[in-house]
Structure 1
Amino acid sequence: MKFGPKSTVVAVLTASALALTACGGGSNNGGGADAAATALTLGTLNDVRSWDPAQAHVGHLLQPYQAVYDSLLLREPDGKLSPMLATAWKYNDTNTVLTVDLRTDVTFSDGAKFDAAAAKANLDHFKKANGPQMPQLTAVSEVKVVDADTVELNLASPDPSLEYYLSQAAGLMGSPKALETEGIKTEPVGSGPYVMDKASSVKDSQTVFNAREGYWNKDLQKYTKLTFKILADLTARTNALVSGQVDATLLDPKTGKQAEGAKMILASNEVDWQGFLLLDRDGTKNPALKDVRVRQAINYAFDRKTILDQVLLGQGTPTSQPFGKASGAWVEDLENKYPYDPAKAKALLKEAGFESGVTLDVPTYSGIESLLAVLKQQLADVGITLNIGAALANTFTSDVASQKYTSLYFQLFQGEPWVAINQMVSTKALYNPFKNTTPELQAKIDAVQTAGTEAGKAAQEVNKYVVDQAWFAPLFRINQMYYHNDKVNVEPQVQQAVPSIYNYSPAK
């Protein structure tokens, strides 16, 4: 094992012979041998637009890429990071140098060898390909091959999420011979457990994969055939599961009742939170939102438990905080920070000088119309008018960034603390378009960035701040309703809408 100099701002990846045993996955026995004649069919919402690994997304959109591309690190169902193409890794004292050993016994499906040069080619390609997750490597300023089995990632600043990202889109490794070619857009070339059966695959209908011969980790290769059926329509997914066309798929509370009636099995997982993003906290366009008492009044206006039970059939947990339990930033005392208290909401509005009323303008989107109607009524009960505007457009991201919305009812991912902060709290966050901050908050954010393994604990202070200041009005963490039949065992993946492909196995 080779470790880089601790005084430079770099991350180093080194291949070594230790790779043969460190992951425990080099043997040819295990799950793959037991599943010699099995097939798995999954119902998914979208087809892959490009098989270039630099165009990979996250959540349910990451799953198909896992079939053909190994990642540098493997994220276990509980969120723990384990070896995959990398076998060991270590930060220096300042969390600016990450040293990682790579496997030396891996090849891509086109015969190319996985080594330091291949890792550099992928990381460089990811940074310049302008994919949907390109920000995952924002902190990396340069990638350099030191020798045949060592590359250096020069970091402009510490990034507590880097290891996590190397288990996600940024860590996917494709064949260096195929990168930047037209062919990889339609036919993936990776080192993963499966290879695409292009003759059996139909765009926007189904993608079929066969187990790759000689794959280095048979414990992760549990099926001989893997099929993704693209079923964007919720009813179509429900019918496909109940009729046996697919073995597992993502549903919702209402269709879940039909699945349960057909003896399907629920693997639930709280991945996102839903609620109001009170974006204009400086009152730039909506002066009322500048007053923390108004934002707090909005929080006190909602009977979260009743709304959850009536609209989402109880599938979730009421909450007053935007950080999830698995992030490490969750604080038990914040869970019911804003209990249902219409009288207190009215008193806060009066104290703030808005007794005559406050107006919130929010867009709508498919599937939340009935929920918004309930929220509109509860806000009206305390003197707040909810104006429901036009539906979100395909320009949504740019609309948010351009401060089109002063408030937004939305559903956000409860990710790792640094991921979540840069999604919704920091001045770089998409969901902080008005760039709201204070010196106190920025100091807390800076503490998270340099906290290393204690990032979750440090992020608790960020969580306390934004909850106390009512930056948001969270209502509940919602269950991802993932159903499967009795032919397959499924383990949910923390902070992910659908399980990673490694979490499925044939039922005994």
Structure 2
Amino acid sequence: MSVRTTARRLRGAVIGIAVVATLASTVSACGNGGASAAAGGPSTLKWASSYFPTHWDPVVSGSGAQFRLLSLVHASLTRTDESGKAVPDLAKDWEYNTAGDQVTFHLRPGLKFTDGEPVDGAAIKFAIERAKTQKNSALFGDLTSIKEVTASGLDVVVKLAQVDHQIPQLLGQRVLQVSSPKAAQDPAKLDQNPVGAGPFVVTQLVPGTKAVLKKNPDYWDAANIHIDNVELTSAPDASTVVSGLQTGVYNFADLTPSQADAAKKAGLDVFVQPGFNASNISINVNKAPFDNPKVVDAVRHAINRKEFVDKLTFGLGEPTDQPFPEGYIAYDPESKNRWPYDPAKSKALLAEAGFQPGDIKLDLVIPDAQPASEIVQSQLAAVGITLTIKVDKNWSKPFFAKELALSIYGTTGRDSAVQTLTAHFGPNGPLNLSTPYEPAGFEAAVAKVRQTPLDSPDYPTALRAATKAGLDSKALVFTYSAPNLFVKNKSVSNLPKNPAHIDWTGVKISGR
């Protein structure tokens, strides 16, 4: 299968993130951060972000929300367009072999990292192997289907352990932002001195606080990046963001739902960037009482998803019973509302399982104080299950070791729908608290998706069938989707709606 994309589509596919915040003393008289651009001077995007990266090495930072910021500096083999499909980035095109267990990526000629090193096949090979083997890599679990990588000139051959047509979706911004192999020889230094081939170059970095960047003139699509400078700051208290946008201290920020109404009243542009956020109740079916399927079903019917949306997102989120948003290619319409809120049925199921109200007493272990945990506690108490909320700062260790009986979790999803499914429902999935349990038929359904080319007319049907099989899992009860909420002032033009990404291609900053 060959993947080719026109020059027009290539230009539209670029994603960058620009961020900033400057001190109040830098505010211009016009108060919108864009006057210099309007006057013909350099344009600066100033973003106050609550996701300021702790790590700037993408291998260490992983695929959480920080990837949007790291993509200022780093390009990747592929990226996603507004439909969520993989399109070229460092790779100009690619093709699979007939068997579907090998894919060859062809890189754009003449590219280089900002330290002058060439972007060639050897650099990509090094990036993949480092992500798979570096001791503190947060990405090794995402690359298990890759068996071997070889390189020759500008070609990279990725040999797979199985037939898998998801690889172009996988090797995008979340999983394969590429650093200079020369800089990556010292990972500790790279972590706070990033060197990539993305749209911007870091000129100043104060760890955990502030980053200043300038446009990279050698970026492959620099002609369509209209932002000259980026200033990123770790967001202050949420209550100060709106006033900062009004005065011009910032011109872009991520926003908490509690501040959305104030931002709208201030005349700012508030928008939800589409994404794959999904929160869930994580259950371990290997531990009592969840080894009884009726207890799991009782929990499913005890959950009022609307309460999460109303109380935690101020109505801006969505109830969800799947790890995908409704309308997305992987969302299974037949599984919608499969376990509706029904407290009476929940109580009946517990009685059938031999439990009286108050018999079941459990710890709900979480990493920090979260209002969501109190909602879960209240809703299960209403059907006779007593939860004690316990905050464990080292929560990740027992969670990922599958030692807990009950917890809550949320993810920002993946660009590869299959990766999202296997992470939640697979026998070795990091989000499957019930490892090695998996629902019957799931493995076969996922294998069929991997064997189906993304442009095949059979792909949507196969993918939804895998979602349906995964939702049989008794290890997760999905609750709600939090919004990817952002706010900007009028100086910043509208952004493309790439799912889960922030795309600055073609975005301009101007005066009022």
Q: TM-score scaled to structure 1, two decimals?
A: 0.83
Q: Would the aligned equivalents of 2:318 and 2:482 in 1 still touch at CA under 8 Å?
A: yes
Gaps of 5+ in 1: 4-12, 27-32
2:436 is the counterpart of 1:433: no
Counterpart CA distance in 2 for 1:128 and 1:210 is: 32
The equivalent residue for 2:212 is 208
Q: Which of 137, 144, 152 is the aligned partner of 1:138?
A: 144
Counterpart CA distance in 1 for 2:8 and 2:378 is: 58
Counterpart CA distance in 1 for 2:489 and 2:47 is: 11
Q: Secondary structure, in 3 states, of the residue corresponding to 1:197?
A: strand
Choose 136-145 or 203-212, whichever is displaced more. 136-145
2:125 is the counterpart of 1:123: no
1:336 is displaced (CA, Å) by 1.7
Counterpart CA distance in 2 for 1:59 and 1:243 is: 31
Residues 354-381 of structure 1 deviation map (CA, whole Å, 9 limit, x = unaligned) = 2444334212454633x43343333222
Inter-CA distance 261–412: structure 2 relative to 1 (3 Å threshold) = same
The equivalent residue for 1:344 is 345
Matches within 5 A, 1:8-157: 25=11, 37-129=42-134, 130-145=136-151, 147-157=152-162
Counterpart CA distance in 2 for 1:245 and 1:376 is: 41
Inter-CA distance 492–44: structure 2 relative to 1 (3 Å threshold) = farther
Which 4+ stretches in 1 moved above 6 angstroms? 33-36
The equivalent residue for 2:190 is 184
Q: Which of 499, 502, 506 is the aligned partner of 1:499?
A: 502
- Residue type at the aligned position of 1:431: L
- Residue type at the aligned position of 1:391: V
Choose 255-264 or 173-182, whichever is displaced more. 173-182
Counterpart CA distance in 2 for 1:402 and 1:59 is: 20
Counterpart CA distance in 2 for 1:305 and 1:47 is: 30
The equivalent residue for 2:325 is 324
- Residue type at the aligned position of 1:144: T
Q: Secondary structure, in 3 states, of the residue corresponding to 1:489?
A: coil
The equivalent residue for 1:248 is 252
The equivalent residue for 1:376 is 377
Inter-CA distance 473–169: structure 2 relative to 1 (3 Å threshold) = closer
Counterpart CA distance in 2 for 1:448 and 1:116 is: 28
1:193 is displaced (CA, Å) by 2.0
Q: Would the aligned equivalents of 1:136 and 1:162 in 2 still touch at CA under 8 Å?
A: no
Choose 302-311 or 482-491, whichever is displaced more. 302-311
Counterpart CA distance in 1 for 2:62 and 2:158 is: 22
The equivalent residue for 1:291 is 292
Q: How well do the aligned residues superpose, as a CA RMSD in angstroms?
A: 3.2
- Residue type at the aligned position of 1:402: A
Residues 214-243 of structure 1 deviation map (CA, whole Å, 9 limit, x = unaligned) = 443134422110111112643454554344
The equivalent residue for 2:16 is none
1:183 is displaced (CA, Å) by 4.8
Q: Would the aligned equivalents of 1:265 and 1:486 in 2 still touch at CA under 8 Å?
A: yes
Residues 191-219 of structure 1 deviation map (CA, whole Å, 9 limit, x = unaligned) = 22222213xx4332211111123443134
Q: Would the aligned equivalents of 2:62 and 2:175 in 1 still touch at CA under 8 Å?
A: no
Choose 459-468 or 264-273, whichever is displaced more. 459-468
Counterpart CA distance in 1 for 2:192 and 2:426 is: 37
- Residue type at the aligned position of 2:508: S
Counterpart CA distance in 1 for 2:224 and 2:98 is: 34
1:173 is displaced (CA, Å) by 2.8
Inter-CA distance 61–293: structure 2 relative to 1 (3 Å threshold) = same
Q: TM-score scaled to structure 2, two decimals?
A: 0.83
Counterpart CA distance in 2 for 1:438 and 1:372 is: 26
Q: Secondary structure, in 3 states, of the residue corresponding to 2:426?
A: coil
Q: Would the aligned equivalents of 1:271 and 1:413 in 2 still touch at CA under 8 Å?
A: yes
- Residue type at the aligned position of 1:140: I
Residues 142-163 of structure 1 deviation map (CA, whole Å, 9 limit, x = unaligned) = 2222x32323222222344421
Gaps of 5+ in 2: 13-36
- Residue type at the aligned position of 2:388: N
- Residue type at the aligned position of 1:154: K
- Residue type at the aligned position of 1:223: I
1:134 is displaced (CA, Å) by 2.7
The equivalent residue for 1:363 is 365
Counterpart CA distance in 1 for 2:261 and 2:447 is: 45
1:126 is displaced (CA, Å) by 2.9
Inter-CA distance 406–493: structure 2 relative to 1 (3 Å threshold) = farther
The equivalent residue for 1:333 is 334
1:56 is displaced (CA, Å) by 4.2
Inter-CA distance 77–397: structure 2 relative to 1 (3 Å threshold) = farther
Residues 374-419 of structure 1 deviation map (CA, whole Å, 9 limit, x = unaligned) = 433332222222222x2141x3322112233211122233433211
Q: Secondary structure, in 3 states, of the residue corresponding to 1:179?
A: helix
2:260 is the counterpart of 1:259: no
Q: Secondary structure, in 3 states, of the residue corresponding to 1:488?
A: coil
Q: Would the aligned equivalents of 2:245 and 2:252 in 1 still touch at CA under 8 Å?
A: yes
The equivalent residue for 1:10 is none
Residues 236-262 of structure 1 deviation map (CA, whole Å, 9 limit, x = unaligned) = 545543443222222222122222222
1:458 is displaced (CA, Å) by 2.6
- Residue type at the aligned position of 1:440: G
Q: Secondary structure, in 3 states, of the residue corresponding to 2:260?
A: helix
Counterpart CA distance in 1 for 2:493 and 2:200 is: 19
2:224 is the counterpart of 1:225: no
Q: Would the aligned equivalents of 2:77 and 2:172 in 1 still touch at CA under 8 Å?
A: yes
The equivalent residue for 1:6 is none
Counterpart CA distance in 1 for 2:54 and 2:344 is: 51
Counterpart CA distance in 2 for 1:311 and 1:183 is: 39
Counterpart CA distance in 1 for 2:112 and 2:423 is: 36
- Residue type at the aligned position of 1:136: D
Q: Secondary structure, in 3 states, of the residue corresponding to 2:71?
A: helix
Q: Secondary structure, in 3 states, of the residue corresponding to 2:508?
A: strand
Choose 266-275 or 463-472, whichever is displaced more. 463-472
Inter-CA distance 44–307: structure 2 relative to 1 (3 Å threshold) = closer
2:238 is the counterpart of 1:234: yes
1:36 is displaced (CA, Å) by 6.3
Q: Secondary structure, in 3 states, of the residue corresponding to 2:348?
A: helix
The equivalent residue for 1:424 is 424
Q: Secondary structure, in 3 states, of the residue corresponding to 1:482?
A: strand
Identity of aligned residues (%): 23
* Paired residues, number: 477
